[in-house]
Structure 1
Amino acid sequence: MTDNTDKPLDLASLRQRIDSIDSELLRLISERADCAAQVAQVKTADDPDAVFYRPEREAQVLRRVMERNPGPLNGEEMARLFREIMSACLALEKPIKVAYLGPEGTFTQQAALKHFGHSAISLPMAAIDEVFREVEAGAVNYGVVPVENSTEGVVNNTLDSFMDSGLHISGEVVLRIHHHLLVSNITRQDKISRIYSHPQSFAQCRKWLDAHYPHAERVAVSSNAEAARLVKTEWHSAAIAGDMAAQLYGLDRVAEKIEDRPDNSTRFLIIGNESVPPSGHDKTSIVVAMRNQPGVLHGLLEPFHRHAIDLTRLETRPSRNGVWTYVFFIDFKGHVDDPAVAGVLEAVKQHASDMKVLGSYPVGVL
């Protein structure tokens, strides 16, 4: 590296330059935080119940950061840094309260922090329906729930909760899931005879376990974080869990990334009480009830083909409200405010027994 005179910079000069850049960063971040506080004042003056967090605005900012990032940090890493700055600035206006499927240390908490940043107040719930209830009651601003895993498929409890709820989907998070075999400081690694984990984690690591611990007892528990907690007290056991659980309970990794598929990932949904305006790169989710009769699936899907709308997911569930009635959960690209999407929804209504828009929301950025 050289300065304007093309003379090589020594270590002391480089450190001095870093200190100068850090001072400028500090000034700019403080200026941004002050501006965010002024935004809060303007919003509150116009509306005492103003909404401070805007999912579409956050998505637009993060996309712009990734598009304009000159490097050498990659776009996603730069967006993560901005995510935390935005989270801290938003907390000056009004801290966001987020309920997630707990306990602490789960992948759902990791998804919540990835989406909202570490300045959000995250609250663990014991079950998915409790997350929905907390959001509906207004005790928290948003909830985070898992909806599908690339290996094990959909999370039915989440789909069932949407059938009975009036909440909106306001965002999505896709999280790469890495499982580790964890032990405590009292574990005798040559005597491991019991392994704790969530049933889905066992399924995602089945081949690895068959190859390395074929005779160990596999004990299913309510969460990977609970598995990590149990290992702290047993000398002959291990747990399958992720990074957050390992850090929370102070466990060591015996083996890393033991999932059978390297692309193993889980998609989480952000649920809230408000609908989300278009961000420019959106997705819509709907639930449709249909009678089981010839040609029903063709009638449901034909409008999407006619209006050139891309489907991203289609799931079928038996309806709990009628015999031989099926419920389709459909994700597709676009926003309900788009004319083409509006045309599709109107056509689907004509074939459906019932249809509900679960939400239009920004496609996950991080």
Structure 2
Amino acid sequence: MKDLKQCRYEIDEIDEQLMALFEKRMQVARDVVNYKMAHDMEIFQSAREIEVIEKNISRIQHNDLKPYAKHFLTSMMNISKTYQSTFLSFDKNLEFYTPRMENITVGFQGVPGAFSQKALDTYFGPHTKKQHYDHFKDVFEALKNDEIDYGIVPLENSSTGAINDNYDAMRDYDFYIVGEQSLSVSQHLLGIKGTHLENIQEVYSHPQGLLQTSLFLEKHHIQPHTYENTAMAAKFVASLNNPHIGAIASSQAAKLYNLDILQENVQNVSNNATRFIIFGKRLEISDDASCISIVFTLPHQVGALYQITKIINDYAINMLRIESRPLLETPWEYYFYVDLEGSLKNPSMIQALQDIKAHTQTMRVLGNYAKR
């Protein structure tokens, strides 16, 4: 058996060789990224990484060491990508614009009295020119066709979670989030004049409105029916003039469509709130912007998401939220939406995003905006 002194001497010798080889490998990694940038090639190729790892693991003679070798090689690959990311110009295509608040038209889904309109008026002011559409997708199409300057849609409710269709649309249309408005949402049971709570057998509302009031509806044995929008549901119920059919909507919708409020505040939780996003075609950043939204995909391998969260931790960035959505073309793989606290005008944040990009298959900045 070797004594401890001899073991330490040999380890020191090996470490000296390792450091020399490490430095040499990183210099070659730098040469690789410079060549790829000069020739407009894809910088990071997960298939090549897997090939390198498998090839080198096969060189290990002791099978019990192969799992450790894989961990060592994976860590070295990640370190190499982080180093290579410092040579990328992630922000070269980022052009910042100043947000507009005047002489604009903003689109929302629903009819007058919708919560989206209330969020719009809260963010831009009640005198802003507005255009309403029947479906969420119509708002995105309207911006695409330059019918409006901005769109506003709900993205998440504090009690029922994400509105997934709008997450997907933000990604698919390549628009930017330019602002956020959080709105306290009070849901009410509405009915035609003269009816009462005990008469109501069915209600209409947006799926989120029904989810947010599910406990009340179950308690009173009221059958829920989905509708495109809470205010549209109120307008529809008013047109039916049926004392047994109600709507879940706002007090403003009750006034607009001449309905009675049969029961106030029927939402499941008292502090019910919805997060609305304002989106446009350009990357607009206000002076008080403090939230960065990104979307990315990852290689389908162990530790891929961990590496992203590690980078966020290493740069001391506060991650505000994370949401996943399935990749329809690839079962059991996902898009990841992440909100980070910070500004794109901060060089350290740009470096962090370059590092994240180096460890993802695709990555896009969705916006840098203020949360209200």
Task: Work out whether the TM-score is over 0.5.
Answer: yes
Aligned with residue 360 of structure 1, among 340, 343, 368: 368
- Judging changes above 3 Å, is the alpha-carbon distance between structure 1 residues 321 and 127 closer, same or farther for their aligned structure 2 residues? same
Bigger Cα displacement from structure 2, 96-105 vs 216-225 = 216-225
Aligned with residue 258 of structure 1, among 246, 252, 266: 266
Partner of 2:115: 107
Partner of 2:237: 231
CA distance in 2 between partners of 1:173 and 1:142 (Å): 14
Cα RMSD (Å): 1.9
Q: Which runs of 5+ in 2 are unaligned?
A: 1-96
1:127 deviates by 1.9
CA distance in 2 between partners of 1:124 and 1:315 (Å): 28
Superposed CA deviations along residues 216-240 of structure 1, whole A, max 9, x for unmatched, are 3322222211221233221222211
Bigger Cα displacement from structure 2, 286-295 vs 220-229 = 220-229
Secondary structure in 2 matching 1:330: strand
Question: In the alignment, residue 263 of structure 2 is paired with which amino acid?
Answer: A
Aligned with residue 206 of structure 2, among 198, 213, 218: 198
Partner of 1:77: none
1:291 deviates by 1.8
CA distance in 2 between partners of 1:228 and 1:281 (Å): 36
CA distance in 2 between partners of 1:275 and 1:327 (Å): 21
Secondary structure in 2 matching 1:218: strand
Partner of 2:223: 217
1:312 deviates by 0.9
Partner of 2:148: 140
Answer whether contact 2:110 2:232 (CA < 8 A) is retained: no
CA distance in 1 between partners of 2:271 and 2:257 (Å): 26
Alignment of 1:273-352 (within 5 A): 273-352=281-360
Answer whether contact 1:103 1:226 (CA < 8 A) is retained: yes
1:200 deviates by 1.8
Bigger Cα displacement from structure 2, 166-175 vs 218-227 = 218-227
Q: TM-score with structure 2 length normalisation? A: 0.70
Answer whether contact 1:291 1:326 (CA < 8 A) is retained: no
Question: In the alignment, residue 153 of structure 1 is paired with which amino acid?
Answer: G
Secondary structure in 2 matching 1:320: coil
1:192 deviates by 2.2
Percent sequence identity over matched residues? 32
CA distance in 1 between partners of 2:225 and 2:326 (Å): 31
Secondary structure in 2 matching 1:302: helix
Aligned with residue 124 of structure 2, among 89, 111, 116: 116
Secondary structure in 1 matching 2:298: strand
1:241 deviates by 0.6
Superposed CA deviations along residues 183-213 of structure 1, whole A, max 9, x for unmatched, are 22153554222222222212111222233x2
- Judging changes above 3 Å, is the alpha-carbon distance between structure 1 residues 190 and 298 closer, same or farther for their aligned structure 2 residues? closer
Moved over 6 A (4+): none
1:301 deviates by 1.1
Question: In the alignment, residue 225 of structure 2 is paired with which amino acid?
Answer: V
Tell me, yes or no, if structure 1 residue 270 matches structure 2 residue 309: no
Partner of 1:179: 187
Secondary structure in 2 matching 1:345: helix
CA distance in 2 between partners of 1:175 and 1:102 (Å): 16
Q: TM-score with structure 1 length normalisation? A: 0.71
Question: In the alignment, residue 227 of structure 1 is paired with which amino acid?
Answer: A
Superposed CA deviations along residues 27-52 of structure 1, whole A, max 9, x for unmatched, are xxxxxxxxxxxxxxxxxxxxxxxxxx
CA distance in 2 between partners of 1:318 and 1:219 (Å): 27
Superposed CA deviations along residues 118-155 of structure 1, whole A, max 9, x for unmatched, are 11111111222221121122211100011111111111
Tell me, yes or no, if structure 1 residue 240 matches structure 2 residue 279: no
1:290 deviates by 0.7
Superposed CA deviations along residues 74-130 of structure 1, whole A, max 9, x for unmatched, are xxxxxxxxxxxxx7xx4xxx2x20011113321111111111111111111122222
Q: Which runs of 5+ in 1 are unaligned?
A: 1-52, 59-86
- Judging changes above 3 Å, is the alpha-carbon distance between structure 1 residues 277 and 209 closer, same or farther for their aligned structure 2 residues? closer
